[in-house]
Structure 1
Amino acid sequence: MAPGHVDVHVARGPDGTIRIAAGPGPRPIEVHDGVVHVGPDFTRAVLDVAGAVLTWPVLDAPGLPWAEVHDVGRAQQWVWALYGERVAAAVHDSAAGRGGVRVTAEATALAGAAARLGLGHWAARWWPASYQDGIPVLEPSLLGLELAALTHRCQQLFDDEGDQPDDCAAELIEEHLAALDPLIQWWRATAGSVDMARRLETVLRLIDDAADNAGLDGPALRHLRSSLEGRGPAAASADPGALFARRGGYALAAGEPLVTGGRVIARGSGINDWRRYPPGLVDAAESAVSWTARALGARRRIEVEALADPAAPATGTPLVAEVHVNGGAPHRVSLARRDDLWTGHSDLSPDPQAGVSAPRIEVGVLLPGFDPGPGAPGDADVRAGRDAVRALVRRRLAVARRPPAYDTPPHDNCSAPFLAETAATATDEDY
């Protein structure tokens, strides 16, 4: 097969959905109740596009996505540009009731940009920031602006139906306008670094074009346009770590500090399942959750601590710990943030530990209403996935510290660091 070409299987499912399976795709790891699961959510990058959902396995080399096409008419506007004419014809034939077929897809420029956009949304949701693991936080506004630029770059994937949450360039620009001026300062200070200047300018011009198409205006966007029209003298220096440093730090919350006392009957580490709470609440380290069980006379009490993400709100977040004792029904413990910890405690009543000197306790943290519940993959698979994600992130940060020159424009190159990754490496000495 020629370089840049990929073997693709196109077939229609029993429900009429057309599946485009490119290359190895997401690897099935378990069959549960007759359904094939392709690994934990945090090992997949996903884009909701016109008439379809695109999926990439982030732990494999970037390539063409798998697609589940539920509206062929809407999807045909981009299928040919993403996969090439042969795949577009095969999708049309499958929709008409013809059998599955293998064809050769082309690695197009849109495919590269789409893969990078999908990876960017993955990073916004699943980046495993952890003080304990030494993985720095990505500045959300900087990542948000680059996602806006990439969304505009991939506009062919979307239509005007309004049911695609990932078609959000204008919303991202408006939400993260505060990061635009620091981004311009960074660009103006990169005269001596041709590759970095090109990367920054590409993002800024895409943001400008997206804002213009959406009819956005305001002082920050007018400053962007004037800067692009006449760059002016270069800034003397601009440390991205300082430009995008987070303000503030751990704030004191109203949570009640844990009170020591009583006899410790058990202690251990809990399960830190990233799927059960939104990003920016809990440190992503495997050992971020810990618990202590105490005997206070006839009472039994569970105390839970979880390392907080620096961005976690000081108040108003109903984070809870879910406690299982000796395989019993779950018992929920409210957590409040205090400095760099989420803490909480609760009596366990009726006493499930009667006559047991060393109870078996499992503890995890979750956000009610967000928590999807237990996933199909087993705990060993989920933990292995988390370890693999940490390894991937460390490799990307190593590249961001010493970025090479890229022949391919960064908006078409998944291996190129995001600007937020590059900025994070300038501040990760504290991690």
Structure 2
Amino acid sequence: MTRASVEVQVARGDDGTVRVAGPGVGPDFTRAVLDVAGAVLTWPVLEDPVPPSAEIHDVARAQQWLWAVYGERVAAAVQACATGEFSDVRVPADMTPLAVGAARLGFGHWAARWWPASYLDGIPALQPDVLGLELAALTHECQQLFDDEGDQPDDCVGELIGDHQAALDPLLQWWHATPPSTDTARRLGRVLRAVDDAADSTGSDGEALRRLRWSLAQRRPDGTPVAVDPVALFVRHDDYALAAGEPLVAGGRVIARGAGTNDWRRYPPGFVDAAETAVSWTARALGARRQIEVEVVAHIAAPTTSGPLLVAEVGVDGVRASRVPLARRDDVWSGRGDLDLSAGETRPRIEIGVLLPGFDPGPGPEGGADRDAIRALVRRRLATAAQPIASNTAAYEGSSGPFLAEIAAATTDEDY
């Protein structure tokens, strides 16, 4: 059913790109992004569900989904702008069923990239295989957004199923153990059937998929389901593995200590605990030498390779002069290096940021308030996921309803 209309601006840029402008968006980690046929769609995750913004570089390809996402008035306006009939026009956009599904898919990709898992903040991680399979199901349900051109990295149903098949058997157990009348059971059934359909359409195969197909063809067991803990069904990182990294050695005179900046944009997901206080440092005087020691709380899934991966960028009195390699030791990335201080300086202004060379886009504007808003958002979502909805299935299935990975995370008994 089509929902209430929202006015959007359709405009043609100097480079021929047609833009559909919805609400303004902030830093990278506050935006959900989806690559579709001929365009990129964007949603602000901190606002209520709205029609997406779109940057359309191939209007002919985009026409296959434009009308189904925005309604016929926007599709016609985009075509008119592309042909030069208009350069800028405002028209009503409809919140269509495909728009709702696309927003949910975009948010799922956002969660895979930006979910702020943190022991320090008490925010559990999402189980990647569970999220990956639901993304595969959603991608299959939103196939009208994609075509066969091969330039849409988010149209990856077969790859998602192949990478995350390990969650199929646990999801089936969870489904069979959940009372059929609950919304969780309905969501599980819908996701599992969509994965089966997607696997069939992409030619995906394997023992887990064959067991899924067989199970879906059977009648669900009668009687009262056996209680099951969804968290216990999935493989989780329960302990930090030891990795190379020399423990920092205390000594010398402490000049200063403090907390650094934890900018999520500067390293991939799964490297660093998302808390604002995850980065700390100590500056010491060792005779005539000045040394900086950096410790960064590792994400639960942080890699355990033997060489340094992350580095700490060290700035002294406004000048970014050096980088300190970090290596993982237990649950901490750590490292130390020499500081270049003026003779006799005892209270330098030191700034520390953590990054992955080659991935880092560079320091952005201070985003502490936006990161706090994201933490508040995911806490609200986890609180909702922890309380199964009894009757409002439409709300549960909507773009803001909880993902199965959020429901599992909300029931975790790990020490966060």
Taking structure 2 as the reference length, the TM-score comes to: 0.96
Identity %: 69
Q: Does residue 364 in structure 1 map to residue 353 in structure 2?
A: yes
CA distance in 1: counterparts of 2:132 and 2:3, whole angstroms: 33
Q: Does residue 322 in structure 1 map to residue 313 in structure 2?
A: yes
CA distance in 2: counterparts of 1:74 and 1:205, whole angstroms: 29
Q: Deviations over 1:160-192 (max 9, x none)?
A: 010000001110000001111101110111125
- Residue 70 of structure 2 contacts residue 99 of structure 2 at CA under 8 Å; is this kept in 1? yes
User: Against the structure 1 CA distance between its residues 416 and 317, is the aligned structure 2 distance closer, same or farther, given a 3 Å change threshold?
Assistant: farther
Q: Does residue 66 in structure 1 map to residue 53 in structure 2?
A: yes
| CA apart distance, 1:352 | 2.2
Q: Does residue 254 in structure 1 map to residue 254 in structure 2?
A: no
Q: Deviations over 1:58-95 (max 9, x none)?
A: 00001110111010010000001111111111111110
CA RMSD of aligned residues (A): 1.5
- Residue 326 of structure 1 contacts residue 352 of structure 1 at CA under 8 Å; is this kept in 2? no
Q: Deviations over 1:225-264 (max 9, x none)?
A: 0111104426523211111240441011110000000000
CA distance in 2: counterparts of 1:395 and 1:317, whole angstroms: 36
| Match of residue 85, structure 1, among 72, 80, 86 | 72
CA distance in 2: counterparts of 1:328 and 1:4, whole angstroms: 52
| CA apart distance, 1:429 | 4.9
Q: Does residue 187 in structure 1 map to residue 178 in structure 2?
A: no
Matched residue, 1:403: 388
User: Against the structure 1 CA distance between its residues 121 and 361, is the aligned structure 2 distance closer, same or farther, given a 3 Å change threshold?
Assistant: same
- Residue 325 of structure 1 contacts residue 353 of structure 1 at CA under 8 Å; is this kept in 2? no
| Stretch deviating more after TM superposition (292-301 or 420-429) | 420-429
What is the letter of the counterpart of residue 121 of structure 1?
A: H
Q: Which runs of 4+ in 1 moved over 6 A?
A: none
CA distance in 1: counterparts of 2:191 and 2:118, whole angstroms: 28
User: Against the structure 1 CA distance between its residues 304 and 10, is the aligned structure 2 distance closer, same or farther, given a 3 Å change threshold?
Assistant: same
Q: How does 1:143-292 map to 2 (within 5 A)?
A: 143-233=131-221, 236-292=226-282
CA distance in 2: counterparts of 1:4 and 1:408, whole angstroms: 16
Q: Does residue 334 in structure 1 map to residue 325 in structure 2?
A: yes
| Stretch deviating more after TM superposition (53-62 or 243-252) | 243-252
User: Against the structure 1 CA distance between its residues 207 and 419, is the aligned structure 2 distance closer, same or farther, given a 3 Å change threshold?
Assistant: same
| Match of residue 343, structure 2, among 354, 377, 380 | 354
Matched residue, 1:307: 297
CA distance in 2: counterparts of 1:423 and 1:288, whole angstroms: 25
Matched residue, 1:35: none
What is the letter of the counterpart of residue 369 of structure 1?
A: G
| Stretch deviating more after TM superposition (240-249 or 212-221) | 240-249
Show structure 1 runs of 5+ residues with no match.
27-37
Match of 2:376, SS? helix
User: Against the structure 1 CA distance between its residues 161 and 192, is the aligned structure 2 distance closer, same or farther, given a 3 Å change threshold?
Assistant: closer
- Residue 188 of structure 1 contacts residue 231 of structure 1 at CA under 8 Å; is this kept in 2? no
What is the letter of the counterpart of residue 5 of structure 2?
A: H
Q: Does residue 128 in structure 1 map to residue 108 in structure 2?
A: no
- Residue 146 of structure 1 contacts residue 419 of structure 1 at CA under 8 Å; is this kept in 2? yes
- Residue 3 of structure 2 contacts residue 96 of structure 2 at CA under 8 Å; is this kept in 1? no
Q: Does residue 294 in structure 1 map to residue 284 in structure 2?
A: yes
What is the letter of the counterpart of residue 317 of structure 2?
A: N
Match of 2:371, SS? helix
| Stretch deviating more after TM superposition (6-15 or 299-308) | 6-15
- Residue 3 of structure 2 contacts residue 94 of structure 2 at CA under 8 Å; is this kept in 1? no
Matched residue, 2:36: 49
Q: Deviations over 1:328-383 (max 9, x none)?
A: 233111111111111101122xx3242211111000100001000122xx31xx11
Match of 2:144, SS? helix
Matched residue, 1:95: 82
Matched residue, 1:138: 126
What is the letter of the counterpart of residue 180 of structure 1?
A: L
CA distance in 2: counterparts of 1:249 and 1:310, whole angstroms: 8
What is the letter of the counterpart of residue 97 of structure 1?
A: G
